[in-house]
Amino acid sequence: MDTVHDSIDSFLASWGQCAAKDAFMTFRQTLETIPGVRLSFKARPGITYSLRGTHPAQQQRELFTLIDVIDDDPEERWLSVCFYDDLVADPDEQGDWVPQGLLGEDARCFNVDEADEDMVAYVVQRIHEAGTAASR
């Protein structure tokens, strides 16, 4: 039994249907297609539910992406998808640069709170980009 996937599935089963949930599921599926990726999940109800993507090739960092479901209002959850700033490009300037925003290092974060297929696709590209960089 895979407790990480069970925890994620249990969380998803308790979350009503919304655009942020659909995006979260897309991002999770994207992470699962990256060879060697490992997922971890940390639930902090009322604060965040965090899905972390890691790769065993990473030596200096414990993750390459952090997908937070912001849970300050469970009826209006939204996503903050963050990467180390040096792992991803942001050619369309869709993300926010956050100094020391990811485990003390500069980050690039993308907020997803609506059914914007272009934004979801853009973040999927960033997930692939960061996953490729982490696997080197």
Q: What CATH code is carried by the domain that includes residue 24?
A: 3.30.1460
Q: Rounded to whole angstroms, how far apart are CA atoms 38 and 31?
A: 8
- List of residues 6+ apart from 92 with CB closer than 8 A: 122
Q: Rounded to whole angstroms, how far apart are CA atoms 96 and 110?
A: 6
Q: Could you identify the residue written with the tokens 């490992």?
A: 38
Q: What's the pLDDT score for residue 2?
A: 76
Q: How many domains does the chain have?
A: 1
Q: What's the pLDDT score for residue 17?
A: 87
Q: What's the pLDDT score for residue 1?
A: 46
Q: How far is CA 10 from CA 15, 74, 119, in A?
A: 9, 15, 26
Tens place of pLDDT for every residue, the chain, 136 residues?
Answer: 479 999 999 999 999 988 899 999 999 999 999 999 999 999 999 999 999 999 999 988 999 999 999 999 888 999 999 999 999 999 999 999 999 999 999 999 999 988 799 999 999 999 999 999 999 8
Q: What is the pTM of this model?
A: 0.95
Helices (H) and strands (E) in the chain, counts: 3, 6
Phi, psi of 114 (to 5 degrees): -145, 170
Burial class (CB in 10 A: 0-12, 13-18, 19+), 80: buried
**Which structural domain, as residue segments, surrounds residue 33?**
3-134
